[in-house]
Structure formats: structure tokens, C-alpha cells
Amino acid sequence: MRVTIFGASGLLGKALVGEWGKDAVSALTSRDADVRDPEAVRRVMEEKHPDWIVLSAAYTDVDGCERNRDLAFAVNRDGAVNVAAAAKQIGAQLLFLSSDYVFDGTKKSPYETNDVRNPQSVYGRTKAEAEVRLLELIPDCCIARTSWLFGTGGKCFPDTILKLAASRPSLDVVNDQKGSPTYVVDLARAIVQLCRKNAGGIVHVTNSGDCTWFEFAQQIVKDAGLSTMVSPVSSEKMARPAPRPAYSVLSPASLRALGVEMPPWQDALDRYLKERNA
Ligand SMILES: NC(=O)c1ccc[n+]([C@@H]2O[C@H](COP(=O)([O-])OP(=O)(O)OC[C@H]3O[C@@H](n4cnc5c(N)ncnc54)[C@H](OP(=O)(O)O)[C@@H]3O)[C@@H](O)[C@H]2O)c1
């Protein structure tokens, strides 16, 4: 299987490159091909001629997207369309990374793949609109929605908590947003399986279980053996430019139907901490 990864220098991209093993992987960054440039995307695709394209590249700064709306849509929606158009031209299969932020967070039970999109942030809208455009262009493309990524390849929540906890006696963390933390190593493994199984349509891919950011931070501090006190606060108190869904747990049913299981997030956190300390 020949694979091209857009966004290979990112948190997930690095894990994908590590997981793919002996299959022929082309690992692209924005310097190799800016997804906003359709010509550059087409050129690189004709050169690599992959069987599968994993589109992990995105403008992922959720608050930055509120300030830089045009850039957010140019990269996350229009860039995705450029990649999909080139994929269609060369007959490659496409897996696109999307987000739990396509939902508004008003549900009280895990979101299924066919629940109605109603994004509340610019970032969420760019992903939701990309999903719609991609499914129009390539109806059997695979859209993998994921959430709350962490890993050793870049900035992430556990890393921030550990750095803050090392220098502060106490931390305030929001306790009114619930989701599923996802270790990029587990996500990358699942993505490889999805490609091997020729998966198509929308699939939800997160570690199993859920928690609030406060509960996640508590577990991180506990597992790291730190004595920092973690206190729950409301999102209102920690106001940020982009609204986040209060509840964005994604149902594992679509992934299970394809025969793929994800480990619990607590187990994933344990392995992340070992990898971080190695
Ligand atoms: N992080 C999360 O919690 C989360 C949650 C749900 C979904 N997702 C989605 O999962 C995917 C992976 O996220 P991540 O956290 O691994 O992302 P990340 O660490 O922010 O990495 C982003 C990647 O996109 C590339 N990129 C940015 N702009 C580009 C452009 N104009 N042209 C080509 N490449 C460009 C970057 O390349 P350079 O290094 O060259 O700039 C980098 O490789 C994204 O699609 C994201 O939206 C993430």
C-alpha cells in the first residue's frame, strides 16, 4: 500500500509515520505542499501516486481560527477540497481527519455518525463544511472524527498540565466540558486498520470512556505522582475566544462495526506518560 500523509509534522502525523511500518509512506509538511495551493497538491499527488491519502493537515488552533477566519476556511475547508479533487483525479482513496467540534454539545448521550452537525466555533464550521464538500466530491471517502488529541510529538493538554503542575501548587481546570481524550498512537493504529479495511463513510475514532478536562487533569497529576491540587472551574470563569461543546463524546459504534476497538483513555494516558519519560 502506498500512502501519502498531509500534516506529517503534526501531533498525529508523527504517530502515523511511526505506525505505518513497511508500507511506502510519503510524509508531507506544508513546505512540501501547501494544501491551499491546488497546483502544488496536484503535482505532489501525481508524483507520489498513493493508494491512500491521509489528510491530517489542518489549522488546529481553535481560538486562532476565531481571529483568522479566512485562513481557517482556506486551510481546513478549501485545502481539504483541493486534496480531495487531486485524490479523485488520480483514483486514490482518502481519509480525512475531522473533529467532535462539528457538534453543538447539547446531547446527553454519545454522538452517532449521523447526528446533525451544528458547529459553534469557526474551527468546527471549517471541519463541518469540509465534511460536506468531501462527501459530495468522493461519496465513499472516509471521514474519521476524533477528539482531544494527546501525544509526545507536540503541544497537548497533558504536557501543558505537567509543565504547569511542576511549578504551581494548584491549578484551575474546566469541569463543564465532557469528551474523550485520544492518544495519537492509538488513533494512528486505528487509521492504519481503517485504510487496510478500505473503510468509507463517517467513523468516530477516540479512546474509549469519557471525562471532563478537570477529571483528565486530575488523572494526569495523580499518575505523574505530583501533589499539585487541581480545582474544578466553569468555562465561564476561563473564558476563551472559541466556544467549546459542553458534551462531545463520540459513539464507538461505527468503529466497532468495522471490527476496530480502542483502549480506555486511562490506559492510553499511562502509555503516554511512559513514552514521555522514556
Ligand atoms: N488536536 C486535537 O485535539 C484534534 C481534535 C480533533 C480533530 N483533530 C484533527 O486531527 C488532525 C491532526 O491534528 P494535530 O493535532 O496532529 O495537528 P497539528 O499538530 O496542529 O499539525 C498540523 C499539521 O498540518 C500541517 N499544515 C498546517 N497548515 C498547512 C497547510 N496550509 N498546508 C499543508 N499542511 C499544513 C502542519 O504542517 P507544518 O508543520 O508544515 O506547518 C502540521 O503537519 C487535524 O486535521 C485536526 O483538525 C485534532
Tens of pLDDT along 170-183?
999 999 999 999 99
**Residue with CA nearest ligand 1 atom 34:** 30
Q: How far is the CA of 121 from the centre of ligand 1 (A)?
A: 17
CB of 146 closer than 6 angstroms to any ligand 1 atom:
yes
Is 123 annotated as catalytic? yes
For the chain, which residues score pLDDT lower than 70?
none
**Residue with CA nearest ligand 1 atom 36:** 7
CA distance 219 to 225: 10
CB of 153 closer than 6 angstroms to any ligand 1 atom:
no
3-state per-residue secondary structure call for the chain: CEEEEECCCCHHHHHHHHHCCCCEEEEECCCCCCCCCHHHHHHHHHHHCCCEEEECCCCCCHHHHHHCHHHHHHHHHHHHHHHHHHHHHHCCEEEEEEEHHHCCCCCCCCECCCCCCCCCCHHHHHHHHHHHHHHHHCCCCEEEEECCEECCCCCCHHHHHHHHHHHCCEEEEECCCEECCEEHHHHHHHHHHHHHCCCCEEEECCCECCEEHHHHHHHHHHHCCCCCEEEEECCCCCCCCCCCCCECCECCHHHHCCCCCCCEHHHHHHHHHHHHHC
Confidence at residue 239, expressed as pLDDT on a 0 to 100 scale: 87
Confidence at residue 8, expressed as pLDDT on a 0 to 100 scale: 96
pTM (2 decimals)?
A: 0.98
Give pLDDT tens digits for 142-160: 999 999 999 999 999 999 9
Task: Report the DSSP pairing between strands 178-179 and 211-212.
Answer: antiparallel
Confidence at residue 217, expressed as pLDDT on a 0 to 100 scale: 98
Give me the catalytic one of 59, 101, 123, 247: 123
Confidence at residue 21, expressed as pLDDT on a 0 to 100 scale: 75
Confidence at residue 256, expressed as pLDDT on a 0 to 100 scale: 98
Q: How far is the CA of 182 from the centre of ligand 1 (A)?
A: 15
Q: How far is the CA of 123 from the centre of ligand 1 (A)?
A: 12
